[in-house]
A and B are shown apart, each in its own frame.
Chain A
Amino acid sequence: MSYPINRLMLACLLAIAGAVAFLAMNRVVGWSLTWQFRSDKLLTMLVVAPCIAMSTVAFQTITFNRILTPSVMGFDALYMLLQALVVALLGSVALSDMNPYLKWAGEILLMVAMVTLLFRWLFGGKRRDLFLMILIGIIFGILFRSATDLIMRILDPVEYAAVLDASFASFNQVNKDLLLASMVICIVPMLALWRWRHRFDAMLLGRDQAINLGVDYNRQVTKTLICIAILVAVPTALVGPITFFGLLVANLAYQFSGTHKHAYVMPMAVAISVTFLVGGQAVLEHVFNYGSALAIIIEFLGGLVFILLILQRGKR
């Protein structure tokens, strides 16, 4: 049990059990029909969960902290702002008439560009104080949200509804073709992050030691940021913002993997992420009959972890 590989196997088994439970629980019709009904949602979660897990772990490694995540830094709020801007500028009719691929590709490109710029600007120079960064993140979040609010107030009620619709995480209504495209576009940055796992290990020692050990530090950070930006943009474009999920998953992965090595931590984070998302959705849908939205529960738990982590740091 104590070996990292055993722990990882256990987590993977749990993830698979979650997926099977999601497909099999309360099945009333034949398998093929059940698959037809449930596969879209399952596949969506299987794209979203690894994206969030991998991007959060990589982000926390290159920024030397375990509290900040791309979403705590306010980038889901940036996505909402983009949505609101598109509606305000083009109108909700244009939004629903727009080629979904085009809209989706545009959103992702914009997110990648803005996120990379912001990251570079914030983390590009010297190492900065963590609490300052949290503060900056929160302020950015408020800025993006207020700007969104402002735009929403200008909109007429129909268009307002269109924006509101896009701003809550939902696994229930996803375009199947976009899902396929998302899978394809995620694979490259995922594989890249996995290839760099040994480099990330060395980067845990801090910038100076990483350079001492021969990591081409600045280039590595830029390349990683671009991958992270894609992996943040894709799930946000698919299902909307989920703020604290990455934080929850990454910190559980550090706890449970029993090693610092990214070769174990990254797959562990993916397994935990899938377990939470798919298993949680299975329990919610089939046991509690949609008693609540999964996103709300995840946000609640993740928020608690966030507060705990900050309190813990304050004590040190």
Chain B
Amino acid sequence: MIECCDLTLSYDQQPVLKQITLTLGKPGITALIGPNGAGKSTLLSAIARLVKPDSGTVLLDGEPVVGNQTLAKHLAILRQDNHMEARLSVYDLVCFGRYPHSGGRLTDEDLQKVAQAIDYLDLQPLQDRYLDELSGGQRQRAFIAMILAQDTEYILLDEPLNNLDMKHAVSIMKLMQQAARDMHKKIIIVLHDINFASVYADQIIAMKDGQVAYQGTPEEMITEPVMLDLYDLPMQIQQINDKPIAVYHL
């Protein structure tokens, strides 16, 4: 389990996280939703020790994440902006996922895991292509393959559906669902589209103004009063295939 205790963080005196105490990381998919600037990405970054909180601690299975040398074998994070100067092929990138285990010298077991991850995301035809030659969706799949090759129990994804068309967004979410089931991963995803959260998540955590506002199953969360309070926008909730779907476009 991931336990956040009293997590507080400000950027330039602007509070982003306000004393968050939260336990998350049940098996399956946990979706983090909330309006822009609610602190979702920052919370994810603080959990993965990418930003240092002003106060408070994050524990992973009882151990603090800061200073934990083997954390990379247990928890992986993928952020939105993955720009780089070097020209890497898809295969090279996926190999990096094994760095925490092998320190750069790949063993047979590492190569096997890399091949599995590439298979899992159907990247064989692309594996020798360079990342800058790929479309946004293909690139995203390559990065997810790297995270899967890292073979961690916990996977944190920060808006993985950004810039993806509907077909690719659906296929990524299906893949995550499958990975959660097949490999018992604990996946935490920041999502903007609440309907994706409703359909694919096992639980939803909603943030607003740097605090956790609501927490529950999709059925409990995707309701008209909760959404109105969260997004300040009236929504109609309809049941489609037993899933609550929010309509707010009209």
- A: residues with CB less than 8 A from B are 60, 64-66, 197-199, 201-202, 204-209, 211-214, 216, 254, 260
Determine, out of B85-93, B195-203, B204-212, the stretch whose residues face the partner at the interface. B85-93
Using known A-B contacts A208-B77, A214-B69, A214-B99, determine if residue A260 contacts B92 with beta carbons closer than 8 Å.
Answer: yes
How long is the Cα–Cα vector from A250 to B103 in the complex, in angstroms? 24
**Interface range, B side:** 20 to 34
How long is the Cα–Cα vector from A55 to B73 in the complex, in angstroms? 31
Instruction: Flag whether B174 is at the interface (Cβ < 8 A).
Output: no
Contact B85 A65 (CB under 8 A): yes
Contact B103 A205 (CB under 8 A): no
Q: Which residue of A lies closest to B98 (CB)?
A: A213
Which one, B72, B79, B85, B104, contacts A201 given CB within 8 A?
B104
Which one, A197, A202, A208, A254, contacts B99 given CB within 8 A?
A202
Contact A211 B84 (CB under 8 A): no
Q: What residues of chain A lie closer than 8 Å to B96, measured between beta carbons?
A: 201-202, 205, 209, 213
Using known A-B contacts A201-B96, A202-B99, determine if residue A214 contacts B71 with beta carbons closer than 8 Å.
Answer: yes
Q: What residues of chain A lie closer than 8 Å to B84, measured between beta carbons?
A: 64, 204-206
Which one, A202, A209, A214, contacts B82 given CB within 8 A?
A209
Q: What residues of chain B lie closer than 8 Å to A209, measured between beta carbons?
A: 79, 82, 96
How long is the Cα–Cα vector from A105 to B176 in the complex, in angstroms? 58
Instruction: Flag whether B137 is at the interface (Cβ < 8 A).
Output: no
Q: How far is the CB of A42 from chain B (nearest CB, A)?
A: 33
Q: What residues of chain A lie closer than 8 Å to B70, measured between beta carbons?
A: 214
Instruction: Flag whether B192 is at the interface (Cβ < 8 A).
Output: no
Instruction: List, sorted by A's number, 19 A–B pairs whose CB atoms are closer than 8 Å.
Output: A65-B85, A199-B104, A204-B85, A204-B88, A205-B82, A205-B84, A206-B84, A208-B79, A211-B48, A211-B49, A212-B50, A212-B76, A212-B78, A212-B150, A214-B71, A214-B100, A216-B69, A254-B86, A260-B87
Q: How far is the CB of B14 from chain A (nearest CB, A)?
A: 14
Count chain B CB atoms within 10 A of each CB in A64, A66, A211 and give the residue with the most.
A211
